[in-house]
Every structure is written in C-alpha cells, then in structure tokens.
Structure 1
Amino acid sequence: MDINDHIESPLKLKISFNKLLEQYESLSKSDDVFVATKAKQVLKIGTDFPELKNGFSDVSILKKREKEISAILHDTFSPLLTKNEIKTASVPFHNLIFNASERFKNIIKTAGDHFRLEIKNMPQDDMYIIACTIILNFCYGYNLNLRRPFYYEIPNAQGVLHYYKILYNADFCEIIPTDKAKKITKEDYEELLDNFDNVSLWKEKFPQNSYTFKGFVISNIFDVTDDQSISNIKSSLIVDDTCMDENFSESFHDIFSSLLGIQDLKVGFSIFNKEENAFERVYGIGANSFLINNEDTKKCADSLCKWSYNRLLKENKNFSVSDVDKIYELSKGKAPHIATLHQQGIKSAIFAPIANDSGLMGILEIISYKPQVLNSINANKLVDVMPFIVSAVERSNNEEENLIEAIIQQECTSIHPSVSWKFKQAARKFLIESQRNKENKPAFSKIAFENVYPLFGQIDVKGSSNARNQATKKDLALQLSLVDKVLNNIPQDEKLPIYEQLKFQIEVFNSEIKNDFKVDTEHQITTFFKHEVEPLFIFFSDKKNFAKAAIEDYFSKVDNNLGVIYYYRKNYDETIALINKNMSALLDEKQVRAQAMYPHFFERFKTDGVEHNMYIGESITKEESFNAIYLYNLRLWQLQVMYEMENYFYQNQHEYPIGLDVASMILVFNQPLSIRFRMDEKQFDVDGTYNARYEVVKKRVDKAFIKGTEERVTQKGKMSIIYSQKEDEVEYLKYVHFMQSKNMFDDDVEILELQDLQGVTGLKAIRVSMIYQKNEGDQKTFYTYDDLMKEIKA
C-alpha cells in the first residue's frame, strides 16, 4: 500500500530520515566521544538501509524496518520521557503514525477499538491549500503565516472527551519540485493572496503531485481539555443564534463534562427575577432548571434555605452539595433545595451565581446522578468560565430589554415602522445635543409630516349600546328571580314583614327593567344585591336551615369577582372582543401586502368594532417616489379589504356567542394635511386649525343622518363611502363598478346627501349593498344581506 493512495495533494509524500541523518552527520564530528560514537551508529543504519535516507512511500517498509527506524528516532523519542510525553512521528496531512510515545499509545488504547484518530478542524479543501502555502514558504520564500491550531478529540475510559493540541516540528522535512511543477511568479502569488477560498485556482497553480515531500514531522501533543472547554463555552455563548438553539443546553452538558472530567453531567439554568424575588425557568434553549424542578417560577425563599439564599443572593458565591442523600437525612427534608434535588434523584450538585456588579441575574446549575463527583474542590474550575457566562447573560438581558421595548412599541404605541426613521433621527439629534451640552437638557424635536393624504375606515357593531343594555337587563332579571326564589322558600313561621318589603322591591326593579331602564338602574339594583340581599343570604346559610338549595344556586351563578350574575353580559363582551380580535388580525395580515405596495403610516383602534387610520405621502417615505397612483391604489385596497373583513365576519358569525350586525364606512378626504405626534398622548393627530375639520368629521360622521330623514347613513349589509368633492364621487364610483364586476357589490348604488354636522356642511355618501361570498366545494355562492341572514338562521 502506498501512502499517497486516495489522497489529493500537490505533495507526493515520501517518508525519509535524510534531514535527521544530516544532523547526525554534524554530531559525528563532535569532540564529545559519546555523542560522536552514537551519531556514527545511527549513520551506519542510514548507509546500510539507503531507502531510509532516500525516502519511500510503501507502507510495508515501516513494518519491515521498524527496528531500524526506532533506532534512528531513539534520541527524538527518549525512553526516559516516553510515559510522560505525548509525541508521534508521522507524515503531514495524513493519519499515518509510525512512531509514538507510550503515553500516546495508552491514550489511543483507552479510547477503544472503534475510535478512529483524525484531526478535527482540517477540512479537505483547506488541506490542499495549506499544502500549497507550505510549498510557497519552502520553495519560494514567501512567508505566509497560516498557522492554525489543530486538535485531536479523544475520549477517556469514562467516555469523557479530551482535547489535545498538536504542535508540528518540521525540521526534518524537504520539498522538491518535480517536472509537473509550474513556476510561481510574483503575479501568481499576488493573485493567490486574494483567493484563499478558490481551491480551483490553487490546484491550477499547484497541480497534484507536482512537488515531492521527503521527510517526516514530529507532533508534540498537549492535553488542553480545560482551555478548550473554556474556549468552547465562550464560543457557544458568543454566537447569538446558538444561545437560542434548543440543542444549546445539550452541547453544554458535553462541554462541562470535559471541563470537570465527569461523565453524564447535566447543566441547568434559572433566571433571577429581582422584582418578584423569584427564580424563573429559561425558555428557548432546551434548558431545565433543577433548582425549581422545571416550574415556571418559584419564590427564592421557597427554593433555598436561609444559608444557601445568603450564599447565592447576598454573597454571590457558589456552593456544592456533594452528597444529596446524606444532607437530606441530616436536614430531615426541610431544606427546600435539598428536598427538590432528592425528589429528582440527583446525588450531587453545584450551584453557581451568574452575577455582575448590579447583583444576581441567574443561577448556573450542574448536577450528577452519582454522589460526591461534584464537590467544592472541582467547583473551583468554574472560576475561569463564569465571566463568559455572565457576559452572555448580560447581553441576553440587554437583548430581552430591547425586544420588550420593541414589543411595547409595536403593541402599545403608535410609532409605526413607516415613520420610525423620523423618531430615530430626532432621538439621535437629541442624544448628540445632550452630549454636547450636559448642563441644559435639549428639547426633543417636533415629529410632523406635511402634505399627507388621510384615509379612514371603520367596521362598527350596529346597536352595540342596545345589545349591551339587553344583556344587562337579562342578567339583572335572572338574578332578581333567584332572589325571589329564595324569599319564596322561607317557611311561614320565619316570615317577617321586611321580607315582604324585599319582594316588593324586586317587583319594582323588574318593572323598571321592562319599562323604564335608566342610566342608574343597573347601579341601584347592584347595590341592592350587595348591601341587602347577600348579607341576608349569608345569615340564612349560617343560622337557618331553610332555602339552602336555593341560596347555593344563587351564589353558584353569581360571579365571585363582580358580585353579580355575569352571563349575558359576558357573552356580549366576549363577542365584541372576538369580533375585534378577528377583524384586527385580518386587517393586520392584509396590511403587510399594502405596505409592500407602497410604504404608508397605519394605525388601528379597537372600539365596538375596528377603526383604522392611514396616511400616505412623500414626507413619510423620505424618498422622491410618491405618485398619486399610490394614493388611488391604497383607496381601492382599503375598499376591498373593508369588504373582505365584513364578508369574513358574516361567514363566521356562527362562532360568536351572540348574533350581532356590523356596518362598514369609509371617509374620503380630498386635500392633503399635516399630522404631528403629540408627545403627551403618544399618538399622531392632525396639525393645525384647518386640518381639525377632518377629525371632527371622522368622529361624528358614522352617526350622521340622510338629509331630511331619521335614517342613519351607516347600515348593516351596506358599504357607506362619505365624501364632499365631486371628483371623489367619480373616483369611488369607478371602484364600486370594478367591485360589482367581481360580485362584491350589488347594483343598488345610492348617492345620498347628509344632514349638516356641527361646523361641517356639504357631505355626501355613496351607499351600496354588499354581496357576501361563500365557498362551497369548488363553487362560490353569492348572498345579499337578507339571503345570508336566512341562510344563517335556517
């Protein structure tokens, strides 16, 4: 077998001891008789067996000349150090080893029969290029520093992975060009400098087997398990994506096993919540918490005894439990952390505080299911790794704060991504001015956008106030009937005149609910339940033996928090909440596509339905790209999405606890206006007196009546488009006709004049019935509002 078989390399390998024999040539002339004699003996071996000097690639010669090779390498591999040094003789870029120290042999033997020795961080392509750079150094004098640390990963008898760093001694090597070698010019060298990753180029300049390598390398190997484990921990923590990987914790088990030299360790983490004085489980990294036994959260005082609490939280020092079972017996199971470990079958553990100058941030937990393997002695090895863990947790905390801020901004404020650049610009200016003038705090710049076109739309629940009142009446009437039932169960001999007065009060309240329900009626009846009925029923339960079933029935139906029956109102509230949730989700989903068409400001509000504002214009996009076509496109998009939202609502109306109707309305404002972010209200509003007219119309128009009638412009089953200018009417009639062609609107288009609002005159409306669509198999069916109601009720 030839050592060059199945290897792609610019170097044709030959094992040779020529360079070593040249060293002995010099030593043979030494004045030291012992040294000279020994050197002559080695040189005689080279003379007697010329293949050892000239070089060979036949692996069988290694076995055939094993004794002679060992004699030549006798000084290099001293018998006195063979059990201490980890050392090999080999050829480069090859796993073939032909001489090794006893310690190296024992390490390989311990690893097991199935272990295969190979350099872990040597990619195949890199191997070829590295060989080329060695040729550039040896043959052309270009000092290219490509020294990288190479490692072996070898398990010990317990299966714990050890890391061994390899340092090469290349004193006994020579590289000779063959007739295949191409002359490397300065231009070639400069081209290669910028093309390390281009393996094809390197192969072109250095063809396979175009140089001969004669010699061997000595590998001096060192156990760097501690250093490499620390480096692996550091690397794992530096990479953000790794820290969020579900496999992150599993890799930590192996790293800490290598660091501490203990097999089958488990690593856990828990977060310290300072505000709650509690430990919390870490999610997203596949980590357990052995301290709180995977509960979501647990108070520190319930997790630790007094001593361990002070040790971790006050002193910020680690502690170990080398024998859990023993301590559990001594403490009689009263130490919370010991009891928790014992419950999980853990036999030894180390708890290390992850703390900085501001105090505790979390706990690193290392556990074993074997006693005494974790203790206060090997806990000291954590000193070198904790700074990296602390830094990673600090970074994670900062990222979490930023994420929380981003969520708050997205969910709780009106700073839409389309305008965030303006806020960042103002914040950067504020920061610079603050740093320049630390004595006087600068004012935050005004955030405003001029010449933007507004769009407003809403889907409102029709008759929501009446529906809420009806739900309230039903709840109150039901509760009054339950009170009356209890009073009717009072025995004759227990009846008092005051009970007759209570029954009379119930009749009065029932009459008010049916005939004269006022603003304060609900409050009066609720007060009656709280102050007159409930104390009496509690007295009956404690002191009397009658009406117990009726009283239990009463209290079982009364909401514990509200003190009243909350059944019909709950159905109403849940219906409104579900309508808002579903409509908002659909609108948000459609908005993603709209933003991709052309960026614009967008905000929505949940009321008894869903409202949304949009503003589009040059000042928002910050680029010279705005055209009126984007405004017209957004108006059509809004009309289509409003239709889709209402169509979606009615097709899914069966999911809501109670049946309600909605009405859709769009407000068209012809002229551009200015908007300004109001810092006190944390939202955008129109800027200037003239523009305020838009806000007035927006707030009042859905309650407007058709001129000369008592009919409101917004009606269930119809889309209402409010406007004031003729050109808006022409534009939106085009959109309506387009959507009629899509079977979205009916043919009953109305042009209506509206009664004047306070300070606003000349409003008109296009109103058209919607045709609701429903997929049935491969066919679409179409309904008017009346058809749909019949279908739903059928």
Structure 2
Amino acid sequence: MDINDNIDSSLVIKISFDKLFKQYENLILDDNDYISANAERVLEVAKNNPILREGFSDFSVFKTHEKEINVILQDAFSPILTKNEIKTASVPYHNFIFNSSERFRSILKTAGDDFELEMKNLPENQRYITECAIILNFCYGYDLNFKRPLFYEIPDSNGIMRYYKILYNADFTEITPNENAVKITQDDYNELLDNFENIDLWKEKFPLNSYTFKGFVISNIFDVTDDQSISNIKSTLIGKEKRKNESFMQGFSGIFQSLFGLKNIEVGFSIYNEEDDAFERVYGVGMNSYLLNDMESKNCADALCEWSYNKLLRENEYFSVSDVEKSFELSEGRAPHIKVLQNQGIKSAIFAPIANEDGLMGILEIVSKQPKVLNSINANKLVDVMPYIVSAVERSKNDEANLIEAIIQKECTSIHPSVHWRFKKEAKNFIKNRLNGTNSNFNKIAFENIYPLYGQIDIKGSSEARNSATQLDLALQLNTVKKILESASKIEELPIYEQYIYQLNEFLNDIEVHFQVDSEHQISSFIKNEIEPILKHLYSIEKLKIEIDTYFTRIDDRTDALYHHRKLYDDTISLINKEMASLLDQKQVEAQLMYPHYFERFKTDGVEHNMYIGESITKEDSFNPIYLYNLRLWQLQVMVEMENMYYQMQSDFPIALDVASMILVFNQPLSISFRMDEKQFDVDGTYNARYEIVKKRVDKAFIKGTQERVTQKGKISIVYSQREDEVEYLRYIKFLQSKKYLDNDVEIVELQDLQAVTGLKAIRVSVLYHKNKDDKDFYTYDDLMKEIKA
C-alpha cells in the first residue's frame, strides 16, 4: 500500500529525511563532542539506508526501517520528555502518523479502539486548496497567510471531549514541481486571490499530482481544552435560533463538561424580572431551570434564602452548594433553593449571576447528581466565561425588544417589509432636513408601474347566517321572558301580564315571518324599557327568583341581550379568519423568497388579500414578467390549499358554514401611494380607481342573464377582462388539474355589468378536496359533504 492511495491532491507525498540529515551534516563539525558523535551516528544510519534520504511512500518501508527511523528521530522525540510532550511525526493535513511521543499514544489509547483520529477546522473540500497555497509559498515565494488553527478532538477516560491544538514544524520539508506542473504567472496568482472557494480553478492551475512533497513535519500538540471551551461558549452564544433547537442545551452542557472536566453536569438558566422581583423560565426548546424546576416563574424571595438572595441579587456574586444533602440537613429543609435541588436529585450546584452595570439579568445554573464535584474552587472557572454569557444575554434582551417592535409593526401597522426601505429612506431625509433646519415634511410614498393581485376566501351566506343566529337568540330571549310572565300571571292574575305576553307573541311572529334590520333594535328597546322593570318587580316573589336569575345570567353584559347563537357565529367567523390568515401568512414567507413583493391581508367575513409586484418596490433592476406569472400561479394554488384546509377543519367550528373563493385579475400596471390618514396603501389616479371599484363589487356580481352569483361554494372563480388573462389562467388550471388540485369542469361565464365597469368574464372550476392532510384520495365538494356527514 502507498501513502498516496485514495488521496485527491496536487502533491505526491514522499517521506524523506534528507533535510534532517543535512542538518546533522552541519552538526558533525560542532565543537561539542557529544553533538558531533551523535551526528555521525545518525549519518551512518543514512549512509546504510539510502531510501531514507531518497524518499518513499510505501507503507512497508516504515515496518522494515522502524528501528532506523526511531534512531534518526531520537533527538526530536526525547525519551526524557516522551511522557510529557504531545508530539508526532507525520505529513501535513493528513492523519497519517509514523512516529509519536508516549504521551500522544497514551491519549489515543484512552480514547478507545473505535476512535478515529481526524483534524478539525479543515473541511475536506479545502484541503486541496490549502495544499496549493503551500505550493505558492514554497515554489513561487508568495507570502500567503493561509494558516488556520488545526485541532484534534479526543475524548478522555471519562468520555469528556478534550481539545488539542496542532502546530507544524516544517523545517524538514521541500516541494518541487513535476513535469505536469503548470507554471503560475502573476495573472494566475491575482485570479486565485479572488477565488478561494473555486476548487475547479485551483485544480486547473495545480493539476493532480503535479508537485512532489518530500520530507516530513513534526507536530507539536498542546491541550487547549479550557481555551477552546471558552471559544465554543462564545460561538454557541453568538449562534442564531438557539432557543428553537432542541440540541442547543445538550451541546451547551457538553461544552461546560469539557471546561470543568466533568461528565455528568447540566446547565440551566432563569431570567430575572425586575418589575416583579421574580425568576422566570427561559422559553425555548430544551431550556431548563433547576432553580424553578417545573414552575414557570417564582418570586425571588420564595426561590432563595436571605443569604443567597443577597449574594445573587445585591452583591451579584456566584456561590456553590458542594453537598446538597448536607446543606438540606443543616437548613432543615427551609432554604428554598436547597430544597428544590434536593427534590430533583441534584447533589452539587453552582449558581452564577448574569449581571451588568444595570443589575441582575438572570441566573446561570450548573448542576450535577454527584456530590462535591461542583464547588467553590472549580466555580472560579466561570470567571473567564461569564463576560460572554453576560454579552449574549444583553444581546438577547435587545433582540427581544426589537422583535417585540417588529411584531407590533407587523400586527398593528401596514408597513410591509418589502416597502420598509422606502419608509426608512424618507424617515432619514425627514431627520436630516429637521437637523438642517429645512422643510421637514414627510414626503409622499408612492410606487409606480406595479401589478396588482387580489384574492378572497369569503364565507358564503354570512349575512343570512348572522341574521339566523340573531333570530334564534331573540326568539330564545322572548320565549324565556314569556315563560317568566306566564308563571307570574298564575301567581298574580293581572291583565298587564297578558298584555305583555301578547306583545311578546307578536314579536315572535314578526321575527319568524318577516325579520327586518330594525327588528333587533325594537325588541331590545321593548325588553329593556318595558320588561326589565317588570322582572325587577317580580324578583320579590320567591318562586320566580331562580327563573329571573337564570335569565339575567344568560344576558351578555356587552350587548345587553341574549348572546348564544350569535356567539357561536362570531366564534366561528373568528376561528375561520384566524386559521385562514395563519395559513396565508405561512405561505407568504415562501412567496417572498421567490421574489419580493408587497402583501397585505384583511379579516372580514373571510380573508382577503392584496399583493403588488414590480421593480419600483424591489428597488432593483431585476423584475421580469416571469415573477408576476409565478406569483399568480402561487396565489391560485394557495387559494386551493386554503379551501382544503377550511373543509378539513369545518367540523371543529361551532357552526357549519361554507366558503367561496375568488381571484381578481388586473392586466395593466398601476400606481399606489401610502395614505397617511388611513395608514394604508391605495391606488392612485382615476383610471386605477376602476380596479378598486371592481374589487369591492365583483364578489356580489351575477352571471349575465341569471340570478346566480359568480362565486360559488366548492369552486374557484377567476374574474378577468382580457383575452390574454383567460389564456394564461387556463394554462395554470390545466397544470393544477394534473396535480389533482382542480376538477375538469372548467366553465367560462360573462358577468353582468357593474357600475362603471363592463366586459368582465370569469373562469370557474371546482376544487378537489382531501379529507385530511394525509389523505391521498380527492373528492368533489358534494363527495366531501357526503363523507363528512356519513
């Protein structure tokens, strides 16, 4: 076997001790007799074994010349220091080692037979390029600073990861070009400087096996576990999305295990809420607090004893509990922090305050289920890492404050991220002008030549459903009052009761036969002004108290009316809007990655959305109609998904309602501007206003010559006016039919003329549904209803 087997490299590796022997040739004339004699001894080995000078790559040579190699490397690997120094002889950037100190061999033996030595911080795809950079230094004299710290990660006898830094001594190496080497020019060098990641370019300039590495390197290796653990803590704390990753705390605990040299320790955090003087759990996946255990928050005075409270909160100093069992006995279980550790089976712990000049921000909790392993002595290791933890918590608090502001902006304003740059630009100009003492009016924000997209998923028959719920509530309220008055007339035979019962019956008949808009107001006024005084009078009658109490407990304080069926309706609308808007928001994240565009949605009786796409919004010269077509297809597909999601959830809603979906296609680009008074975007100009008119009226439009609405349950309606739009959307429909999103019953209909708008048409096609997310079958609306009701 050969060292170069299965290695993709620009270097042909030959182990040679020629440069080492040349060093000894200089030493043979040394005045020190021992040094001179030793040099003669080494050179005698070289003379008798010329292959050691010439170079070799066959593994068998190491076996046959093992004794001789040990002799010539004896000065480098001193027997006196072999148990202390960590040293190897090898070739650079490879894990092949042919000589090492006893200390290094012991470290590998402890790691176990299944451990494979591997360099860290040197990605495989960069090894080739790094070797080429060495060639540029050795053969062409370019002073490239390409060196990166290299490490071994090797577990100790307790399974704790230790870190070893590798420093190369390359005094005994040389590199020479082979026949297939490409001469590197200044232009080549300049090109390579800007293309470190371009592996193909480097292989072009430095073909496989085009240079020969002759010699060996001595690796001086140092245990840098403490330094690397601190570095790893810094890197881990800098990382984003920490609290979303379940493995974060496992990895973080592992780093502290290396720092302390202890296998079974865990790390937790608790946040200090200054306003409430309480500790709170850090929210996030895998986050623990051993001070709080299973509680979400706890008052500091209840979580700590007086001494530990002063230590952490007032003095901002850490403390340890080396023996929880002993401390529990001494405190007789009265120290809260000791008791909570005892309950969790923890035997030793360190509590460290995370504090800055403004005071305490949180607590770092390090715990172990072994007594005495955490104590006041090794707690001092935290001195070097606490500044980084403090910085990370400060940054996290700032990030959280920024996130809160971002959520407020997202949920409470209409400034979408896609146009935020424009508002930011105007805000900067506003501030600059104000500081310069010039006109500081906030300029109009407008975008020209952008394409609009509009869609809605509307609750079908929402007005009828609301009226029906109102009728049922009024009827229930009237019948309840009527029953109380009937009971009262049996106790007191007063004609006035019969008069009120008659009026109640009249109202019941009216709402059943011809319910009108003002019926609710009339009935509410009658009950409030006429009936409630009577009920208060009747409350003195013992037999009626329970009935009257029951009645008033069912009256809603806000509406001053019976609010049962209307609540079911309102709750259903709210749930529908919430779920539909949530799905749309999730899908929008993907759409923005395709191409940035403006997006807004509104919750009404359903969910409607506006989108605007164009170059003036992105402020880049990158817009192409393909992005518009892509967004239109995305919109159609998402509308189908929203329909599916709705009917999959329909049975969970308090009442069953149907929805109908519509997309409005507008062929021409338009302009929009931000209306400061209404805090939202609106179209500019008379011509563009036509688009808004159509948006507001088209979902109520009838098909020409009929009384059938264009929007129907179970169907997607695509409203348009231009022939090219029809062709475009028929293509999208055909594609979605192939994916079983849509049925084959495509129809094209003309719409009746709207005020100031004529010539509208619509494509209607049925949606194919699935009973649930995992259901592979698809159903028409009628099929789905039969399945749901079955």
- TM normalised by structure 1 equals 0.71
Q: Could you report, residue by residue, the CA deviation over 1:520-543 in whole angstroms, capped at 9, with x for unpaired residues?
A: 644775899999979999x99xxx
**CA 422–62 in structure 1, closer or farther in 2 if over 3 Å, else same:** same
Offset of residue 60 of structure 1: 3.5
What is the aligned counterpart of 2:678 among 677, 681, 684?
A: 681
**CA 633–518 in structure 1, closer or farther in 2 if over 3 Å, else same:** same
**CA 502–386 in structure 1, closer or farther in 2 if over 3 Å, else same:** farther
Distance across 1 between alignment mates of 2:28 and 2:673: 91
**1:575 and 2:572 aligned:** yes
Distance across 1 between alignment mates of 2:713 and 2:114: 76
Map 1:363-512 onto structure 2 (within 5 A). 363-416=363-416, 419-433=419-433, 437=436, 442-449=440-447, 464=462, 467-475=465-473, 478=476, 512=507
Q: Which moves more between the two structures, 304-313 or 684-693?
A: 684-693
Q: Which amino acid aligns with 1:253?
A: S
Q: Which moves more between the two structures, 381-390 or 474-483?
A: 474-483
Corresponding residue SS for 1:576: helix
Distance across 2 between alignment mates of 1:730 and 1:207: 65
Offset of residue 371 of structure 1: 1.6
Q: Which residue matches 1:42?
A: 38
Whether the 8 Å CA contact 1:454–1:616 is kept in 2: the answer is yes
Q: Could you report, residue by residue, the CA deviation over 1:200-250 in whole angstroms, capped at 9, with x for unpaired residues?
A: 347538536x3532xx65443322111111112223333436775432222
**CA 482–115 in structure 1, closer or farther in 2 if over 3 Å, else same:** same
Corresponding residue SS for 1:42: helix
**CA 356–427 in structure 1, closer or farther in 2 if over 3 Å, else same:** farther
Q: Which residue matches 2:738?
A: none
**CA 577–178 in structure 1, closer or farther in 2 if over 3 Å, else same:** closer
What is the aligned counterpart of 1:606 among 603, 616, 631?
A: 603
Percent of aligned pairs with the same amino acid: 51
Offset of residue 257 of structure 1: 1.0
Whether the 8 Å CA contact 1:347–1:368 is kept in 2: the answer is yes
Q: Which residue matches 1:96?
A: 97
Q: Which moves more between the two structures, 620-629 or 655-664?
A: 620-629
Whether the 8 Å CA contact 2:368–2:374 is kept in 1: the answer is yes
Q: Which amino acid aligns with 1:573?
A: D
Q: Which residue matches 2:28?
A: 25
Offset of residue 446 of structure 1: 1.9
Offset of residue 256 of structure 1: 1.0
Alignment length, in residue pairs?
752
Distance across 2 between alignment mates of 1:448 and 1:277: 48
Computing the radius of gyration from Cα coordinates, the structure with the larger value is: 1
Q: Which amino acid aligns with 2:445?
A: I
**CA 161–767 in structure 1, closer or farther in 2 if over 3 Å, else same:** closer
Q: Which moves more between the two structures, 614-623 or 263-272?
A: 614-623
**1:59 and 2:59 aligned:** no
Q: Which residue matches 1:341?
A: 341
- TM normalised by structure 2 equals 0.72
Distance across 2 between alignment mates of 1:596 and 1:105: 52
Q: Which residue matches 1:190?
A: 189
**CA 667–124 in structure 1, closer or farther in 2 if over 3 Å, else same:** closer
Distance across 1 between alignment mates of 2:411 and 2:317: 40
Q: Which moves more between the two structures, 131-140 or 17-26?
A: 131-140
Q: Which residue matches 1:232?
A: 232
Distance across 1 between alignment mates of 2:531 and 2:299: 39
Corresponding residue SS for 1:212: strand
Whether the 8 Å CA contact 1:281–1:294 is kept in 2: the answer is no
Offset of residue 383 of structure 1: 2.3
Q: Which residue matches 2:164?
A: 164
Offset of residue 265 of structure 1: 1.7
Offset of residue 473 of structure 1: 4.8
Distance across 2 between alignment mates of 1:89 and 1:455: 68
Corresponding residue SS for 2:469: helix
Whether the 8 Å CA contact 1:480–1:506 is kept in 2: the answer is no
**CA 507–336 in structure 1, closer or farther in 2 if over 3 Å, else same:** farther
**CA 427–527 in structure 1, closer or farther in 2 if over 3 Å, else same:** farther
Q: Which moves more between the two structures, 126-135 or 762-771?
A: 762-771
Q: Which amino acid aligns with 1:207?
A: S
Distance across 2 between alignment mates of 1:782 and 1:695: 31
Q: Which moves more between the two structures, 133-142 or 480-489?
A: 480-489
**1:329 and 2:325 aligned:** no
- Unaligned 5+ segments in structure 2 are 512-518, 735-742, 771-775
Offset of residue 661 of structure 1: 6.7
Corresponding residue SS for 2:346: coil
**CA 520–628 in structure 1, closer or farther in 2 if over 3 Å, else same:** farther
Q: Could you report, residue by residue, the CA deviation over 1:283-323 in whole angstroms, capped at 9, with x for unpaired residues?
A: 55543333333555555555444554554455444333322
Whether the 8 Å CA contact 1:166–1:221 is kept in 2: the answer is yes
**CA 730–569 in structure 1, closer or farther in 2 if over 3 Å, else same:** same
Q: Which amino acid aligns with 2:89?
A: S
**CA 679–535 in structure 1, closer or farther in 2 if over 3 Å, else same:** farther
- Alignment RMSD (CA, Å): 6.2
Whether the 8 Å CA contact 1:95–1:118 is kept in 2: the answer is no
**CA 428–212 in structure 1, closer or farther in 2 if over 3 Å, else same:** same
Q: Which moves more between the two structures, 695-704 or 609-618?
A: 695-704
**CA 534–225 in structure 1, closer or farther in 2 if over 3 Å, else same:** farther
Distance across 2 between alignment mates of 1:719 and 1:185: 68
Corresponding residue SS for 1:374: coil
Q: Which amino acid aligns with 2:574?
A: A
Q: Which amino acid aligns with 2:521?
A: V
Distance across 2 between alignment mates of 1:132 and 1:321: 55
**CA 341–558 in structure 1, closer or farther in 2 if over 3 Å, else same:** farther
Corresponding residue SS for 1:293: coil
Offset of residue 86 of structure 1: 1.4
Whether the 8 Å CA contact 1:771–1:782 is kept in 2: the answer is no
Offset of residue 652 of structure 1: 8.5
Whether the 8 Å CA contact 1:15–1:55 is kept in 2: the answer is no
**CA 507–294 in structure 1, closer or farther in 2 if over 3 Å, else same:** farther
**CA 371–532 in structure 1, closer or farther in 2 if over 3 Å, else same:** farther
Q: Which residue matches 1:268?
A: 268
Distance across 1 between alignment mates of 2:41 and 2:419: 84
Q: Could you report, residue by residue, the CA deviation over 1:723-775 in whole angstroms, capped at 9, with x for unpaired residues?
A: 9xxx969999999999999745587x5646x7xxxxxx767797999775667
Whether the 8 Å CA contact 1:719–1:767 is kept in 2: the answer is no
Offset of residue 389 of structure 1: 2.8
**CA 63–536 in structure 1, closer or farther in 2 if over 3 Å, else same:** farther
Distance across 2 between alignment mates of 1:514 and 1:323: 81
**CA 514–369 in structure 1, closer or farther in 2 if over 3 Å, else same:** farther
Corresponding residue SS for 1:59: helix
**CA 187–375 in structure 1, closer or farther in 2 if over 3 Å, else same:** same
Distance across 2 between alignment mates of 1:60 and 1:515: 109
Whether the 8 Å CA contact 2:181–2:207 is kept in 1: the answer is no
Map 1:591-740 onto structure 2 (within 5 A). 602-612=599-609, 657-658=654-655, 675-685=672-682
Q: Which residue matches 1:259?
A: 259
Distance across 2 between alignment mates of 1:403 and 1:89: 51
Whether the 8 Å CA contact 2:24–2:43 is kept in 1: the answer is no
Distance across 2 between alignment mates of 1:669 and 1:114: 67
Corresponding residue SS for 1:519: helix
**CA 589–246 in structure 1, closer or farther in 2 if over 3 Å, else same:** closer
Distance across 1 between alignment mates of 2:701 and 2:175: 97
Whether the 8 Å CA contact 1:600–1:614 is kept in 2: the answer is yes
Distance across 1 between alignment mates of 2:598 and 2:153: 57
